[in-house]
Structure 1
């Protein structure tokens, strides 16, 4: 995510850049950070930090790093303590200027893992409630050569019981899913027996625990890029059809099934992070829900004329819904944001683009069951 997010632009195609980005230490994407290294969020004079949340996730458990903002509102620092080892940390910061405008930034870093050990960072979080499209995804901090041994040591089971299979994407990512979407109310357990499992010569696992999550109600949204609509269905019944604007001719939206991975009430979207140069930089995109790692979002759009929604595709690949600056719960985007769980499915059809890759986000539902199972190391 590069500390920013993917797509969006002004109705005139020009960037809306903040005067200066929120500065975060450690750098976004940093790896191997020590337990006592500096963590800080800072904004320049004229801006004020309104909210900062720093949390680490280890074995699916989230722990907030306590901290406070300085009296002048320009700096956030931890209130003592140390970082956990082998953890993936997220920093979410929102700042404002004197004119009431907001700027958001999201960054991540990972802390040091002792030599000769490997860890799997996974989603979803322990004890979370997710949508029926959630895929259990492990990303390993070291390449795995003995994939069969690692896959065998991770057991994903459910109540009611269904068959669940693993699929490897390269040597550092292993996803698990059932044949079709989870049934609402299913309780899923992820057992990790990785301690002392050898992933590659001289590299052994440390995780030995079980985490669990619950599947909530079913919600599947169908985006018709040609008709500029999104039909939202809950437990099979149509809730509403919303007007949208999808990717313009030069920046079309992926077809296929995508899963909501993250939700941000406000975030910054900068074209430089996804290969669009300086075409746009919007500091306060409201109601943003990530669909792919490459930068596809479902989000609120306050900068486009109201007439484009339901009529014209204008984005750089995202799906935009009408909103207001600062976000409104009464807007189409605000309503959808409040009605959506991480793990809900968004499917795009009738776009002049390819189908999203199965490893771009949680896109594994675009593989049929036979192809999915063929990616298992267990045969």
Structure 2
């Protein structure tokens, strides 16, 4: 048997397809001892039996219930789960947890609704005799209007992001069983980290590590949502896999007092720009202090004061086109070129956006990844945790306490801290 270690507390043991070594198998029967002299073979004192639940032929099985396999008179050597129409790779791969004496196996993940499933289990006695048992059953289909689907996610597969980038998942329906859904979303990174999910409303889940991601690594997110009962009678219908790359570490800091913006790349300062931030005569013109993340960028962007509640035709109104704009909040804050501002590095005169010289704004635009930290210090307006991607404003202890499972996830290991399975009735 290969690929097994004892289960650890609060974390399921992921065994791939539980490929424990496929040994020679007989038909689905109890093995018999060999005899000589023409005598009838006799059953062993402890016949090898294997039981699979759900049982063969079962229909409309709840997809959020686990598959269990038990061996008596021997140990399990192989369990395979095949779902019709699925390749069994990536987020669709069914892994399982084996107990210490290798007599009980439980599936880690839920099953696709409305699917035909086949479980094949092999067990072996201490003498090397084996038996194979199969159970084929079908799962309950999800009903229209009660099918949880993924509406959007950040980042998307193939993207290179900054070290502060969270995983943001938005669903099309409200989620009430948040701990189960959290437990179905597996985050694996090449460089281990402690992380956890938080919820912002009932439809948006956000994962972030305790500290910034280590740079120059790949991260995989397996959203094993198919079959999870997100709310009463609402089931996830599809699994998804996201693969993204954490690039170099770039952390920028804007100091309200010095009127400077500095940029550090992999621990070394590479830029020092003069800037002019919000004039702060009213709150909406005060740049928010705190740990922001760069969110999106535009080479050309029309900035309209009406989007922040100031009519364009009012004395403080404006509508102008700016270049090299990089968003870092949802309250209208961008770094951008401001060639009209002749007080860069001297005074704060903007309506909240950090103004930069055109060449400096262009450099920042061209060298920013989504998820790069941008820290503003010195103002009396604090960034809210839900203003854009202000998730680093929440301390790690508070973030962990707001996780539905309440347990940190080690991204260096497969699995999650909890269980996505529902309770039996």
**Alignment match, 1:117:** 147
Asked if 1:344 corresponds to 2:372, the answer is: yes
**Alignment match, 2:261:** 230
**Alignment match, 2:353:** 318
> Tell me, what secondary structure is at the counterpart of 2:330?
coil
Distance 1:144 1:130, change over 3 A: same
TM-score (norm 1): 0.65
Q: CA–CA distance in 1 between the matches of 2:317 and 2:172?
A: 33
Alignment of 1:17-28 (within 5 A): none
Q: CA–CA distance in 1 between the matches of 2:330 and 2:260?
A: 23
Q: CA deviation at 1:231?
A: 0.8
Q: CA–CA distance in 2 between the matches of 1:339 and 1:186?
A: 18
- Render the CA deviation track for 1:138-185: whole Å, top value 9, x for unaligned: 122222111111111111110022122111122122111111111111
Q: CA–CA distance in 1 between the matches of 2:296 and 2:332?
A: 12
Q: Whose strand proportion is higher, 1 or 2? A: 1
Asked if 1:296 corresponds to 2:333, the answer is: yes
- Render the CA deviation track for 1:340-364: whole Å, top value 9, x for unaligned: 11111100001122x2111211111
Q: CA deviation at 1:198?
A: 2.0
Q: Among 292, 295, 310, which residue is 1:258 paired with?
A: 292
Q: Name the larger-Rg structure.
A: 2
> Tell me, what secondary structure is at the counterpart of 2:197?
strand
Alignment of 1:3-82 (within 5 A): none
- Render the CA deviation track for 1:231-262: whole Å, top value 9, x for unaligned: 11111111121011111122111000000111
Q: Among 237, 249, 271, which residue is 1:240 paired with?
A: 271
> Tell me, what secondary structure is at the counterpart of 1:182?
coil
- Render the CA deviation track for 1:63-107: whole Å, top value 9, x for unaligned: xxxxxxxxxxxxxxxxxxxxxxxxxxxxxxxxxxxxxxxxxxxxx
Contact 2:305 2:319 in 1 (8 A): no
Unaligned residue ranges in structure 2 (runs of 5+): 1-143, 407-425
**Alignment match, 2:240:** 209
Q: CA deviation at 1:283?
A: 4.6
Alignment of 1:350-361 (within 5 A): 350-353=378-381, 355-361=382-388
**Alignment match, 1:192:** 223
Q: CA–CA distance in 2 between the matches of 1:293 and 1:140?
A: 20
**Alignment match, 2:197:** 166
Q: CA deviation at 1:271?
A: 1.3
Asked if 1:267 corresponds to 2:301, the answer is: yes
Moved over 3 A (4+): 279-283
Q: CA deviation at 1:281?
A: 4.3
Distance 1:370 1:231, change over 3 A: same
Number of aligned pairs? 256
TM-score (norm 2): 0.58
Q: CA–CA distance in 2 between the matches of 1:291 and 1:207?
A: 32
**Alignment match, 2:389:** 362
**Alignment match, 1:308:** 343
Asked if 1:176 corresponds to 2:211, the answer is: no
**Alignment match, 1:148:** 179
- Render the CA deviation track for 1:196-251: whole Å, top value 9, x for unaligned: 22222232223302111001101101100121110111111111210111111221
> Tell me, what secondary structure is at the counterpart of 1:308?
coil
- Render the CA deviation track for 1:300-353: whole Å, top value 9, x for unaligned: 223x33x21111212222212122xxxxxxx11011111111111100001122
Contact 1:268 1:281 in 2 (8 A): no
Contact 2:161 2:246 in 1 (8 A): yes
> Tell me, what secondary structure is at the counterpart of 2:278?
coil
- Render the CA deviation track for 1:276-316: whole Å, top value 9, x for unaligned: 222444352211111112222122223x33x2111121222
Q: CA deviation at 1:369?
A: 1.2
> Tell me, what secondary structure is at the counterpart of 2:253?
strand
Deviates more, 1:358-367 or 1:175-184: 358-367
Aligned Cα RMSD in Å?
1.5
Q: CA deviation at 1:267?
A: 1.4
Choose between structure 1 and 2 for higher RCO, CA contacts under 8 A separated by at least 6 residues: 1
Contact 1:157 1:164 in 2 (8 A): no
Q: CA–CA distance in 1 between the matches of 2:298 and 2:238?
A: 30
Contact 1:146 1:199 in 2 (8 A): yes
Q: CA–CA distance in 2 between the matches of 1:264 and 1:316?
A: 19
Q: CA deviation at 1:186?
A: 1.8
